[in-house]
C-alpha cells in the first residue's frame, strides 16, 4: 500500500514539476506548482512527518502560491504564452538539475540523516521539531528569520521609493 | 475471521458516509434555515409552501431544500462563451472540496475505542474520521486551500465583476488567515496539544476554554487565562466570518457592486457547488470553533465526557451537532443584523487590529503560563 502511494505521489510530483516548466500559461504553471506542493506534502505524510506535511500545505499552497496566483492574474501576462521553449534554456536547466542533484546527494548522505536523529525528530510531532529548531539549530533558524526580516525591509524600502 | 484492519476500514467507511451525509443534510437545511431566520428578522414569513412530494402536507416549508436541489441539478449546464473552459469547470470542485476534507479531522464524539455487542474487537477512534496528531494544523492547511476555487472562478469567468470578487476574496482570506492561526495558538499553548480530540479531553477535565468553570474539576489557572481566552475566541470568531465570506465580510459577493461576485458567470449545479461549499465551510468552521472553545462533544461538568456504549456515543454526536447548529444560527443572526464593511475597513481590521492583538495575546498567554504554570 505504501509502495503504491509512494510511486503514485512521486509520479504526480515529477509530472507536475515538469508541467510547471513546460506550461506556457503562467496560471497553469502556478497550479502545477500547487499540485507539486500537495504531492510533496503527501510524501512527507508517508514518512510520518505530518507536521511538515501540514505546514507545507498551509504555508506554500495556502499562502505563498495564492499570492503568486493573485499577482499573475492581476498582471494578466499574455506575452509569456507565446514564448517557445529554447534549447539553450532547456540545456542549462537540465545541467543545473543534475549539478544540484548530485551536490545534494553528496552533501547529505543517508547516514547523516539517521545519525543526527533528524528522521526520528521530524517524523515525530511538533514538540520535537520545536526542540530541534530552538535548541540544536537555533542559530541557523534565527539567521533565516533575520534574512526574511531583511527581505521584508527591502521590499518596503523599494516600494516606498517613488512616494 | 474479523481482523483489525477490516474493522478499521469498515468503521472508517461508515463514519465517512455518516459524516458526509449529515454534513450535506445540514447544508441543505442551513440554506432553508438561513431563509427562515432572515424572514423572521425582517418580519416576513419565509418559505412555507413546499412540503413533501405527492403529499398535501406543507410541513412549514421543510420540503424546500429538496425542491432547491432538484432545480439546481435539472437546470441547463450553461457555459458562457467567453470563459476559460478548463479552469471554469475546475473552480466549483475546488471550492467544494476543502470544506469536505476539513470535516475529516473534526471529532464529533469521543475517540476512546468502544466495544459493540457481538464483536470481539473494539472500534478504534469512533468519534473522528482521521485522528491525526496535528489535526488542528491540518485543518487550517486544508481550509486555506478553499481560496483557490474562488480565485480561479473569478479569473476564469473572464468578466469584471467575477474577477473583482475573486481578487477581493483572495486578499481577504489571506489577510485573515494569519490572524486566525495566531488566535488559535493560545488554545494550543494552554492545552499543550495540537490534536483536536486531546484539546476536547483537556476541556472536559479542566473546563471549556470559553467557560473555564464548567470542567470536571475547577482549575484556577484557567481563570487567570480567561481574559486572554475570551479575546482569542473573539478574534477567532471574527476571522471565521471573514474566512467563510459571511456578512459582514461578504465583500467577494457584494450584490450591490458586483452582481454576484466570483460566481456571477455560473449557473445550475456549478453555482450549486459554490453554494454547497460555502455552507459546508460554514458548518466545518462552526465545528472547529465548538471543538476549540466550547468543549466539543461534551456537556458541562464532564457529563458525556467518555462514551462507553453506542448510545452514549450517539448522544455525544447529538450534543456536538446541537452546538454546531447553535453556532450556525449565530452566524446567520450576525449576517442579518450587521451591514457590510467597506473594503478598507476590512483590511484595517485584519492587519492593524486583529493581527497585533492576537500576537500580543500569544505573548501574554505564554508569560502567564510561564509564571503561574498550568500546562498539563
Q: Interface pTM (ipTM) of the complex?
A: 0.79
Query: What is the pLDDT, as a whole number, of residue A147?
Result: 95
| Residue B58 forms part of a structural domain | no
B166 contacts A125? CB cut-off 8 A: no
pLDDT band at B363 (very low <50, low <70, confident <90, very high): very high
- Interface contact flag, A125 B142, Cβ < 8 Å: no
Contact (Cβ atoms closer than 8 angstroms) between residue A13 and residue A40: yes
A126 and B134 in contact by Cβ < 8 A? Answer: yes
* Alpha helices (runs of H) in chain B, residue ranges in sequence order: 4-41, 64-74, 85-102, 135-143, 146-156, 160-191, 196-206, 220-243, 255-258, 268-293, 310-335, 343-348, 355-372
A27 reaches B (C-beta below 8 A): yes
The verdict on A44 touching B (C-beta cutoff 8 Å) is no
Domain carrying residue B307: 78-371
B69, part of any domain: no
Q: Are B246 and B65 within 8 A, CB to CB?
A: no
pLDDT bracket for residue A150 (50, 70, 90): very high
CATH 3.40.50.410 fits A1-84, yes or no: no
Decide if B157 is inside a domain: yes
Average pLDDT over residues B60-87: 80
Tens of pLDDT along B182-193?
Answer: 998 888 888 888
B39 touches chain A (CB under 8 A): no
- For residue B67, being part of any structural domain is answered with no
Can you tell me the distance from the alpha carbon of B184 to that of B203, in angstroms, rounded to the nearest whole number?
Answer: 15
- Inspect the interface and report whether the beta carbons of A125 and B173 lie closer than 8 Å: no
Q: Which of B357, B356, B373, B358 is nearest to B225 (CA)?
A: B373
In chain A, where the domains are located = 1-84
Q: List chain A residues with CB under 8 Å of B87.
A: 27
Confidence of residue A127 (pLDDT cuts 50, 70, 90): confident
Out of A34, A50, A70, name the one closest to residue B132 (CB): A50
The reply to whether B350 falls in a domain is yes
**What's the whole-number mean pLDDT along residues B60-71?**
80
Q: Is residue B119 part of a domain?
A: yes
pLDDT tens figures, B282-307: 888 898 899 888 888 888 776 776 76
Residues A52-77 have pLDDT tens digits of 888 888 888 888 888 888 888 877 76
CA-closest candidate to residue B193, choices B122, B111, B133, B235 = B133
Q: Tell me, rounded to whole angstroms, the distance of Cα A93 from its chain centroid.
A: 17
Sign of CA pseudo-dihedral A126, B365, B102, B300: positive
Is the Cβ of B8 closer than 8 Å to some Cβ of chain A?
no
Average pLDDT of the segment spanning B49-76 = 77
Contacts of residue B371, defined as CB under 8 A and 6 or more positions apart, other chains included, come to none
Q: Report the domain count for chain B.
A: 1
Residue that is written with C-alpha cell 465583500 in the block? B251
Within a domain: B29: no
Q: Looking at residues A32-37, what average pLDDT do you find? A: 90
Per the domain annotation, does B23 fall within a domain?
no
Amino acid at each position: 500500500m505504501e509502495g503504491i502511494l509512494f510511486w503514485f505521489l512521486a509520479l504526480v510530483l515529477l509530472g507536475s514539476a515538469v508541467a510547471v516548466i513546460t506550461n506556457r500559461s503562467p496560471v497553469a504553471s502556478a497550479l502545477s506548482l500547487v499540485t507539486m506542493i500537495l504531492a510533496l506534502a503527501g510524501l512527507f505524510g508517508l514518512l510520518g512527518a505530518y507536521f511538515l506535511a501540514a505546514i507545507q500545505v498551509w504555508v506554500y499552497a495556502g499562502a505563498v502560491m495564492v499570492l503568486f496566483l493573485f499577482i499573475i492574474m492581476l498582471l494578466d501576462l499574455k506575452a509569456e504564452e507565446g514564448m517557445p521553449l529554447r534549447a539553450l534554456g532547456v540545456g542549462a536547466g537540465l545541467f543545473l538539475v543534475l549539478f544540484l542533484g548530485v551536490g545534494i546527494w553528496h552533501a547529505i548522505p543517508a547516514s547523516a540523516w539517521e545519525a543526527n536523529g533528524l528522521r526520528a525528530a521530524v517524523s515525530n510531532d511538533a514538540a520535537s521539531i520545536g526542540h530541534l529548531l530552538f535548541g540544536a539549530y537555533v542559530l541557523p533558524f534565527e539567521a533565516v528569520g533575520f534574512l526574511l526580516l531583511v527581505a521584508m525591509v527591502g521590499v518596503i524600502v523599494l516600494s516606498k521609493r517613488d512616494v | 475471521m474479523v481482523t483489525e484492519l477490516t474493522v478499521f476500514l469498515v468503521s472508517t467507511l461508515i463514519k465517512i458516509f455518516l459524516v458526509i451525509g449529515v454534513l450535506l443534510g445540514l447544508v441543505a437545511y442551513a440554506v432553508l434555515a438561513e431563509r427562515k431566520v432572515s424572514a423572521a428578522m425582517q418580519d416576513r414569513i419565509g418559505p412555507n409552501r413546499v412540503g413533501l412530494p405527492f403529499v398535501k402536507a406543507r410541513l412549514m416549508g421543510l420540503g424546500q431544500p429538496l425542491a432547491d436541489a432538484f432545480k439546481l441539478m435539472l437546470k441547463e449546464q450553461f457555459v458562457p462563451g467567453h470563459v476559460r473552459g478548463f479552469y471554469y469547470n475546475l473552480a466549483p470542485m475546488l471550492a467544494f472540496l476543502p470544506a469536505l476534507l476539513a470535516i475529516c479531522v473534526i471529532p464529533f464524539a469521543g475517540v476512546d475505542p468502544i466495544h459493540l455487542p457481538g464483536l470481539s474487537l473494539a472500534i478504534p477512534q469512533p468519534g473522528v474520521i482521521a485522528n491525526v496528531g496535528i489535526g488542528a494544523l491540518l485543518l487550517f492547511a486544508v481550509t486555506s486551500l478553499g481560496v483557490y476555487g474562488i480565485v480561479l472562478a473569478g479569473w476564469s469567468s473572464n468578466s469584471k465583476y467575477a474577477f473583482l470578487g475573486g481578487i477581493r476574496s483572495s486578499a481577504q482570506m489571506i489577510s485573515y488567515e494569519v490572524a486566525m492561526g495566531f488566535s488559535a495558538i493560545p488554545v494550543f499553548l494552554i492545552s499543550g496539544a495540537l490534536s483536536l480530540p486531546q484539546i476536547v479531553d483537556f476541556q472536559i477535565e479542566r473546563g471549556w476554554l470559553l467557560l473555564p468553570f464548567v470542567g470536571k474539576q475547577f482549575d484556577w489557572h484557567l481563570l487567570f487565562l480567561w481574559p486572554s481566552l475570551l479575546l482569542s475566541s473573539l478574534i477567532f470568531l471574527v476571522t471565521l466570518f471573514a474566512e467563510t465570506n459571511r456578512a459582514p465580510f461578504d465583500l467577494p459577493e457584494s450584490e450591490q457592486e458586483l452582481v454576484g461576485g466570483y460566481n456571477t458567470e455560473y449557473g445550475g449545479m456549478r453555482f450549486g457547488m459554490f453554494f454547497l461549499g460555502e455552507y459546508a465551510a460554514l458548518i466545518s468552521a462552526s465545528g472547529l470553533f465548538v471543538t476549540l472553545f466550547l468543549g466539543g462533544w461534551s456537556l458541562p461538568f464532564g457529563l458525556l465526557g467518555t462514551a462507553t456504549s453506542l448510545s452514549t456515543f450517539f448522544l455525544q454526536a447529538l450534543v456536538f451537532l446541537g452546538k454546531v447548529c447553535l453556532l450556525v444560527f449565530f452566524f446567520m443572526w450576525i449576517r442579518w443584523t450587521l451591514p457590510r464593511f467597506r473594503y478598507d475597513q476590512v483590511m484595517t481590521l485584519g492587519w492593524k487590529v486583529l493581527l497585533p492583538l492576537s500576537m500580543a495575546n500569544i505573548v501574554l498567554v505564554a508569560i502567564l503560563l510561564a509564571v503561574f504554570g498550568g500546562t498539563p
